[in-house]
Amino acid sequence: MRTLPTSRARTALGIASTAAAACALAVAPALTATPAAPTPGAPAPGATAPGATTPGATTPVNPSVTPVQVVVQVPTVQAITARIIRVDTGQVVGTLGPVNAMAGPTTIPWSGGRGPGGTGQPVADGQYRFEGLAADGVTPLPTTPATVDVDMTAPTPVITIPAPTVPASRRASLPLRPGGATEVRAIVRRPGNESPLVSGAWAPAGGGLPLPAALRSRGIIGTVQVTAEGRDAAGNIGTSEPVIWSVQPAPGGPTVVTRIKTRKPLVALTIDDGYGPSEATRMVEAARSAGVTITFCFNAINSRVWSASFQQMLRDAVKDGTLEICSHGYAHNTGKGTSESAGISDLSRNRPWDEIAGVASGPFYRPPYGAYGSGLLAAARATGYRYVVLWDVDTNDWQGPSASVITQRAVGGARRGSIVLMHTKPNSAAAFADIIRGMKRKGLEPVGLSELFAAGRPG
C-alpha cells in the first residue's frame, strides 16, 4: 500500500482531477450510495487487502481508539475520495480525502468522524461501508473493508453493594452488572483519594467483580473505595460509580492493639460513643477542612438522638474519606465479666451503626472503657472483629477538662503510630481543629484506622 508523496507527483495529477474531486466532496453528503462495481484482480467483497489490519464486520470497532484502515484500489495515478455510508439508511455521512494516490492499493485512515475528511462529530454506533471514488467523483473504486461495525459507546458497569453484616463479609468479589463490558477489573482507592491503592487484573465480565489479590498481600484492610472498570470488544472503557467497602483480614485473633509500630508519621484520632451529634458534626467539619481522616467508634443505642440529616452527614463523610468507623458495641454496658453470648448479642445489635454509616465496622472493635475479658474476646472473634482497638494516648476528656488541656494531652502524648482516645464532648469538639493543627506542626498526619494499620504492625 502506498500514497503518492511529494509536491512534484501531486502536480502531475493536473488541475482537472483536483477540481473533480472537490466537486465530489461538495455534493457527497446529499448522495445515496450505490454498490461499488467489481474490478478484475480486486479483493472480493468483505475481504481485506494484503497488509490491512481492519477488523471484519463481525468485530465491533471504535475508530477513535483504533482507526479503520480504508483501502481503495486505484487503477491509475489520480486524486481519490472515499464516502462513508451508513448501511441501514444508505446515507452518506462523511467523506475521506481527496488523497493523491499512485496506482494500486491506497490506505486512508478513518477515526470515526462525520463530514469532509472524516473529521468532526463522531458517527452514531452502527454498521458502515465505504465507497471509493475516482477523480471524476462518480466512478466507484473497489474498497475494503466491506463493512465495519462501529461501537463508540462505553460500557456502564454497576456494582450492587450488599448491606453491611456482622460478621462483616469476607467475599472475594462484589456483585456486578457488566453493562455491556466483556472484561472488568477493580480499582481500589482510599475514599476521597484519586490515586489507586491497587488495581485488579482484567477478567471476563460476569456477575461478580473480583477484588485484587494484592489487597491481602499488601495488608490493606478496612474502608476502601472500589470502582469497576469495564471494557468491551471495541476497546471502549467505562467505569462504575464508586462504592464503599470494608476489606476484612484473614480470620483469627482477636489481637488487642494499643498503637501501631510504624516508621511513618501517622496517628489515628478516634472518637467514642456518639451521644453528641452536634459535637460529632463539628469534628467532621474540622477534619474535612484539614483534609484528614478520623474514626468514630459509636454505639447504635445513641442513634435515638441522631436526626436524618446527621445520619446523612455520616454517610457522606465516609464516602469522601473524612470518616472511618469501628464498633463500640450497642449499649456501652460490657466489661471484663461479660460472657461470650452476651458479647455476641451486644456486637450484633450494633449493626445499625454500620447500616447508618453505609459500611461494615469490622475488623475494628473498641470495648467500652477499654475493658474486656475472655468472654468479650471470644465474642469479638465470633463476630469477625479481628482487632480490639485500645489507645496509647488518653485525653480523659470525659472528665470535662478545658479545650486547651484536651489539646495539650492529645498533641503532647502523640507519637508515630499513636491511637488517641476522645469522646463527642463539647470541649473536645472545640479543641478538635487545634488538635489537628498541633499534630501537623509536630509532623504527624491524622489518618483512619485502616491506613494506620496498613502502615505497620500492632505494638
Q: What is the pLDDT of residues 401-459, one digit of tens each?
A: 999 999 999 999 999 999 999 999 999 999 999 999 999 999 999 999 999 999 999 98
Distance CA 290, CA 318 (A): 15
Res 107: pLDDT: 96
Structure-block grid coordinates of residue 121: 462529530
Using alpha carbons, select from 436, 191, 423 the residue that is nearest to residue 290.
436
Which phi-psi region, left, alpha or beta, contains residue 274 (left: φ > 0; alpha: ψ -120 to 50)?
Answer: left
| Contact (Cβ atoms closer than 8 angstroms) between residue 343 and residue 375 | yes
Summarize the confidence of residues 160-180 as an average pLDDT.
96
Whole-number Cα distances in Å, 266 to 195, 321, 432 = 19, 16, 17
Give yes or no for residue 48 having a pLDDT over 50.
no
pTM: 0.83
Terminal C-alpha separation, the chain: 69
Residue 137: phi and psi, rounded to 5, are: 75, 5
Pairing mode, strands 419-423 and 266-273: parallel
Give yes or no for residue 55 having a pLDDT over 70.
no
Give yes or no for residue 10 having a pLDDT over 90.
no
Give yes or no for residue 23 having a pLDDT over 50.
no
* pLDDT, the chain, mean: 89
Burial 147-182 (b: 16+ CB within 10 A, else e): bbbbbbebbbbbbeeeebebbbbeeeebebbbbbbe
Res 16: pLDDT: 35
Summarize the confidence of residues 215-238 as an average pLDDT.
96
Res 429: pLDDT: 98
Element (H, E) at 410: helix 403-413
Residues in the chain: 459
Domains of the chain: 7-150 (2.60.40.4070), 158-247 (2.60.40), 255-458 (3.20.20.370)
Distance CA 172, CA 186 (A): 11
Angle, in degrees to the nearest 10, between helices 340-349 and 374-382? 50
Structure-block grid coordinates of residue 317: 463523610
Res 58: pLDDT: 60
Summarize the confidence of residues 187-207 as an average pLDDT.
96
Res 118: pLDDT: 82
Using alpha carbons, select from 353, 352, 329 the residue that is nearest to residue 342.
329
Distance CA 241, CA 239 (A): 7
Res 15: pLDDT: 32
CA 318 to chain CA centroid, Å, is 16
